[in-house]
């Protein structure tokens, strides 16, 4: 009976979160995903534990064999204590394993001694894949689905072979088991849907908050950056008109002015993409020369090449032209690839722009003599389109955003990005990475 102010509900809620906080406290990994898995695990244990104990008591008072009793009690204890394994393991699998496997053993034992394949309780074996999927995702679904399937097939094979399953459960015990089956299945199905709806709602709320932050950030970026850029561009233009502006100063001013134009153009692209006005300028293609690409990279990164004493070279035939959305290719794709190569190329290394024409496609690549990537990092990059934050050869911070930008715009261009890399190790002389863009022609 609830008090008018919901006191008992508050007590239960407080008790639940006391247990949750105890299990979550001091964990090495305590991300939002892990917390959700822990919540789901606790709810599954709480919603099924009562049923497991109920069947153990039915076996005690309505079954002639003591084997299902002891199996039920032991499995129910392990099942109830399984959340404590979150204090030991960082992954959900083993806590889930010791929650669901005892359930399979308990129900299989009870079914064996209450009619075998014809027992009403064998249907409980179909619940474990659902619970495994709710808590452990795809891996939980496959593992515990497979375990339940093998157990069920074992009963079926014994039935086909004519094995005489014992039915040691009393008629009243069968009635009680059937009641538990109907009410329990309803309760577990209700809980499963409730968990799904709760997680979906929480995920939607987090995505909305994150999306609003991104939207506000983009608005600030595309709106507030234009004014200081205009001021800087005006001041540079005024400096060029001064009589005492010598050739060296003029060169630096023009270089800075070009960089401002690039930033302004990037800001414009962000604004257009943000307002859904274009997708890569409706794929408008322009003629672009490799010499123009090379000179553009040299202009943007000349200081960085000099600081790290990197040799920046080119390898392609003269008068190499191709069609592409030029601004996007130069600023969002090629610039990010060269910038990434600079970060992970040591002092005195080499970076090379290569180009080649094949039937139906143009290949543009950035090759470096940097530290390269191991197989794990390379696979992660190919699957996710980014790497975790890493430190460059001279302490540069790499966020992985550049490669994400490259990957997204390569897809928008209808192109393909291939990555080849050899990790720098003792005894390996040729190491580094090659990022190769294949553009349909």
Bridge partners, residue 406, by sequence: none
* pLDDT at 123 exceeding the cut of 60: yes
- The pLDDT assigned to 144 comes to 95
N-terminal to C-terminal alpha carbon distance within the chain: 74
Mean pLDDT in residue range 11-30: 80
Q: 288-334, pLDDT tens digit by residue? A: 999 999 998 988 888 889 889 999 999 998 889 999 888 888 888 99
Q: Say if residues 58 and 176 touch (Cβ distance below 8 Å).
A: yes
- pLDDT tens digits for range 52-80: 999 999 999 999 999 999 999 999 999 99
Distance CA 313, CA 311 (A): 6
In terms of average pLDDT, the best of 40-54, 189-203, 371-385 is 40-54
Q: How confident is the model at residue 399 (pLDDT cuts 50, 70, 90)?
A: low
Fold (CATH) for 282-440: Heat Shock Protein 90 (3.30.565)
* Confidence grade of residue 172 (pLDDT, cut at 50, 70, 90): very high
Alpha-carbon 277 to chain mean position: 29
pTM exceeding the 0.75 threshold for the entire prediction: no
Q: What is the average pLDDT across 201-223?
A: 75
Whether 277 has a pLDDT exceeding 50, the answer reads no
| Helix 127-160 and helix 32-62, axial crossing angle in degrees, nearest 10 | 40
Percent of the chain with pLDDT over 90: 39
**What is the tens place of the pLDDT at every residue in 246-271?**
777 777 787 787 777 777 777 766 66
**Cβ 423 vs Cβ 431: under 8 Å:** yes
Task: Quick: pLDDT tens for 429-439.
Answer: 788 899 999 99
Q: What is the pLDDT at residue 240?
A: 73
For every residue of the chain, which 3-state class applies, written as one string? CCCCCCHHHHHHHHHHHHHHHHHHCCCCCCCHHHHHHHHHHHHHHHHHHHHHHHHHHHHHHHECCCHHHHHHHHHHHHHHHHHHHHHCCCCCHHHHHHHHHHHHHHHHHHHHCECHHHCHHHHHHHHHHHHHHHHHHHHHHHHHHHHHHHHHHHHHHHHHCCCCCCECECHHHHHHHHHHHHHHHHHHHHHHHHHHHHHHHHHHHHHHHHHHHHHHHHHHHHHHCHHHHHHHHHHHHHHHCCCCCCHHHHHHHHHHHHHHHHHHHHHHHHHHHHCCCCCHHHHCCEEEEHHHHHHHHHHHHHHHHHHCCCEEEEECCCCCEEEECHHHHHHHHHHHHHHHHHHCCCCCCEEEEEEEEECCEEEEEEEECCCCCCHHHHHHHHHHCCCCCEECCCCCEECCHHHHHHHHHHHHCCCEEEEEEECCCCCCCCCEEEEEEEEEC
218-247 pLDDT tens trace: 766 665 676 677 677 767 777 777 767 777
> What are phi and psi for residue 383, nearest 5 degrees?
-80, -40
Give the residue among 321, 251, 269 at the shortest CA–CA distance from 291.
321
Six-digit token pair at 51?
């049923």
């Amino acid at each position: 009976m609830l008090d008018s102010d919901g006191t008992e509900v508050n007590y239960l809620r407080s008790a639940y979160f006391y247990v949750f906080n105890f299990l979550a406290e001091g964990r090495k990994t305590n991300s939002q995903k892990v917390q959700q898995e822990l919540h789901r695990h606790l709810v599954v244990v709480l919603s099924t534990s009562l049923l497991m104990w109920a069947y153990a008591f039915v076996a005690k008072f309505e079954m002639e064999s003591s084997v299902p009793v002891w199996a039920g009690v032991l499995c129910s204890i392990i099942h109830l204590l399984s959340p404590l394994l979150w204090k030991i393991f960082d992954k959900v699998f083993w806590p889930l394993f010791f929650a669901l496997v005892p359930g399979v053993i308990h129900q299989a034992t009870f079914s064996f001694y209450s009619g075998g394949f014809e027992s009403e309780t064998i249907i409980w074996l179909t619940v474990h894949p659902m619970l495994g999927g709710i808590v452990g995702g795809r891996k939980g679904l496959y593992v515990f689905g497979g375990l339940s399937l093998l157990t069920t097939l074992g009963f079926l094979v014994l039935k086909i072979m004519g094995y005489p399953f014992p039915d040691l459960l009393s008629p009243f015990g069968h009635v009680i088991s059937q009641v538990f089956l109907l009410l329990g299945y309803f309760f577990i199905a209700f809980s499963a849907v409730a968990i799904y709806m709760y997680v979906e709602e929480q995920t939607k709320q987090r995505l909305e908050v994150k999306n609003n932050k991104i939207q506000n950030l983009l608005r600030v970026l595309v709106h507030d950056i234009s004014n200081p850029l205009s001021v800087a561009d005006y001041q540079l233009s005024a400096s060029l008109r001064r009589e005492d502006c010598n050739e060296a100063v003029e060169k630096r001013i023009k270089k800075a002015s070009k960089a401002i134009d690039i930033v302004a153009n990037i800001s414009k692209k962000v604004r257009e993409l943000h307002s859904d006005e274009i997708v890569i300028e409706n794929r408008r293609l322009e003629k672009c020369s490799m010499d123009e690409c090379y000179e553009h990279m040299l202009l943007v990164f000349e200081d960085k090449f000099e600081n790290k004493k990197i040799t920046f070279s080119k390898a392609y035939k003269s008068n190499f032209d191709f069609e592409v959305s030029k601004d996007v290719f130069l600023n969002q794709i090629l610039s990010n690839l060269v910038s990434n190569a600079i970060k992970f190329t040591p002092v005195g290394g080499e970076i090379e722009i290569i180009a080649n024409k094949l039937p139906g496609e143009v290949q543009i690549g950035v090759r470096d003599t940097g530290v390269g990537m191991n197989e794990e990092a390379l696979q992660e990059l190919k699957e996710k389109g980014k790497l975790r934050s890493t430190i460059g050869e001279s302490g540069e911070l790499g966020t992985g955003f550049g490669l994400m930008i490259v990957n997204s715009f390569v897809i928008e261009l209808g192109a393909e990005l291939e990555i080849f890399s050899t990790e720098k190790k003792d005894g390996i002389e040729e190491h580094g990475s090659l990022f190769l863009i294949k553009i349909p022609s």
